[in-house]
Chain A
Amino acid sequence: MRGIIMDALFAAMKADERVFFLTADMGINLVERFAESYPSRFLNVGIAEQNLIGISAGLCNLGYRPFAYTISNFLVHRPYEQIRNDVALHGYPVTLLGTSGGFDNAPLGPTHHVVDELGALGALAGIDLYCPSSTNCARELVGRLIERERPAYVRMPKDNFDHPALEGETAYLPGSGRQTLIIGYGATAPACIAVQETNPAVSVLICQRLRPLDEEVVAGALARHDQAIVVEDHLAASGVYGALCRLAMEYQIRCRVRSLAPDNYSLQVGASPRFYQARYRLDKGGIEEMICQP
């Protein structure tokens, strides 16, 4: 998905001189064309994430629309105070572009697993959170990000995924039954949809915008089902599961909200994201198992 977003962003830089691309020395064979084609609106700030965010804020003072790119574990946690004070507090339209969400960088180990950044950023006032779940969503997201007047974070999943029904900020794929709704985003979207393909009674909700949630669509979907299973490669309480529980309570929806998430996170290392998806039951088999569990 990263390549799709970068292509769209590269095209946008030609059309809109406000767009400024920054990297903290990440993106080999990806960011070079930005530097070559738009040298006055490209910066590699070096391995200095606090500076990455502070400079992005300063560029907003000049009216630019900065896109700050690096892997999410570096992008969010190291410069958290800069994101809070220099970006969110000022309401600056900085877009944080992060890769390595969830277990996308699986073999690199726990420091490079990112299962808590949505919660960390979600704790701040004023930052919206996105995670595109299909290539067409990723492509059209860039234009909306540029036009925004607020800060945003985008978790860019590693794998591309195409599905004709996945469009807009929230996609609801109703099943034939009213028992189970499966909710996923990003890397877990393909497994959610795969479950529906073999069990058409199941409904699926795929969120591209994680904060704020599309309350009308999400609450409507919850209200139509007995149980909802949130499948995410992120800690449950601070992830979409937590947001959904709150929504269900506020709207007084009678729906059991359940979670499949890496809450019992361990230091055991896997060679690919599939190892972790299987371990934490974030795959098709895990979802099907939970549907059947009382």
Chain B
Amino acid sequence: MPSACLRVEPNQVRATVLEMLYRAGASHLGPCMSVVDILVALYGAVDVEAIRQGRPDRSRIIVSKGHCAAAVYAVMHHYGLLSADALADYCREGSLLAGHVSHAVKGVEHSTGALGHGLPVACGCAIGLRSRGDEGSRVFCVMGDGELQEGSVWEALMFARHHRLRNLVPLVDNNRISSITATDRVIDLQPLENRFAGFGFEPYVVDGHDVEAIQEALESIERRGEPGVVICNTVKGRGVPFAENEPIWHYRSLGEEQFRAALAALAEAMRQ
């Protein structure tokens, strides 16, 4: 049963992410902020209770851009999968919650950190579900657009298309900035929909900060019954004005004034 009734507010998640990053002196603010709405949409579209219980028939969410761990853990927290105490340990000595997602954290399907790993693993999950006759579960894989420069992504797409893996849905956090600069200045893959269409995936291009639009795209792919990809156009650093579209916020950690300013900006956005 989908968890949409929980009504998680993305900007509240962003505020949680800010607190985690600030307390830990951690980086990756930019890619965390761009992916929040995608993750809120995904966890809202699946049966979170099945994930909590680790049921074999659960839908699987694999976050391949593992550097957005703070966002993943914050969303899991807001969906009731991780306690506040656990979040408080983020990047602390001895914690299981590191700067990249870890399967040591209950509810996380797969550890990622090196890019281009998630989609092949997601393919394995999808083909495994099919092999054992489980038609109801789906596998979602969240990637960054910079990550698409990894060749293994396209190996997996070819495989998924050939095997018509209808239960597998890749989603791209298309924030257009990779590690140190704009993706179109490194390897220009835009428009992404053409690339995916060429590999046999029906592209669904949505506003990546519109939770309902993302969930509608997921439903459309399921109804159509053919391989489809959700390209989520996002803003890196979304919600934190001084960090939006600034590559340095892949690496920079928040000072106290910046933290207060960012929280205030989110509070203002939630008031509007």
Contact = CB atoms under 8 A, between A and B. Distances in A.
B131 A58 contact: no
Interface stretch (B103-111, B197-205, B209-217, B229-237): B103-111
Task: Point out which of A20, A46, A60, A61 has the most chain B C-beta atoms below 10 A from its C-beta.
Answer: A61
B120 to A, nearest CB: 2
A12 interface: no
A85 B56 contact: no
Interface string B29-69: 00000000000000000000000000010001000000000
A281 to B, nearest CB: 41
Nearest to A61: B125
B111 A59 contact: no
Interface residues of B, number: 32
Contacts of B129: 62
A62 B125 contact: yes
A46 B123 CA distance: 14
A284 B33 CA distance: 66
B113 interface: yes
Contacts of B152: 50-51, 54, 82
Interface residues of A, number: 27
A59 B121 CA distance: 8
A145 interface: no
Contact of A61 (B110, B114, B117): B110
B159 A59 contact: no
A53 B120 contact: yes
Contact of B111 (A43, A56, A81, A90): A90
A43 B165 CA distance: 13
A120 interface: no
B137 to A, nearest CB: 10
B155 interface: yes
B84 interface: no
A51 B159 contact: yes
Interface string A44-74: 0110101101111111111110000000000
A89 interface: yes
A56 B155 contact: no
A58 B162 CA distance: 17
A20 B60 contact: no
Contacts of B132: 62
A51 B120 contact: yes
Interface string B145-157: 0000001100110
B111 A61 contact: no
A61 B128 contact: yes
B172 to A, nearest CB: 18
A59 B151 contact: no
Interface in A77-102: 81-82, 85-86, 89-90
A61 B56 CA distance: 9
B123 A86 contact: no
Contacts of A198: none
B92 to A, nearest CB: 21
A252 interface: no
A165 to B, nearest CB: 41
B126 interface: yes
A20 B131 contact: yes
Contact of B117 (A40, A60, A64, A82): A82
Contacts of B155: 46, 48, 50-51
A49 to B, nearest CB: 9
Interface in B152-202: 152, 155-156, 158-159, 162
A86 B110 contact: yes
A59 B126 CA distance: 8
A190 B130 CA distance: 45
B18 interface: no
B110 A64 contact: no
B61 to A, nearest CB: 12
A150 interface: no
A56 B120 CA distance: 9
Given A46-B162, A54-B117, 12 more contacts: A46-B155, A48-B155, A48-B158, A51-B159, A53-B120, A55-B120, A58-B124, A61-B125, A61-B128, A64-B128, A82-B152, A85-B112
Report the 5 A-B pairs with minimum CB-CB distance, sorted nearest first: A58-B124, A54-B120, A62-B128, A55-B124, A48-B155
Interface of B: 56, 60, 103, 109-114, 116-117, 119-132, 151-152, 155-156, 158-159, 162
20 contacts: A50-B120, A50-B151, A50-B152, A51-B123, A54-B120, A55-B123, A56-B124, A57-B124, A58-B122, A58-B124, A58-B127, A61-B60, A61-B124, A64-B131, A82-B152, A85-B113, A86-B110, A86-B121, A90-B103, A90-B110
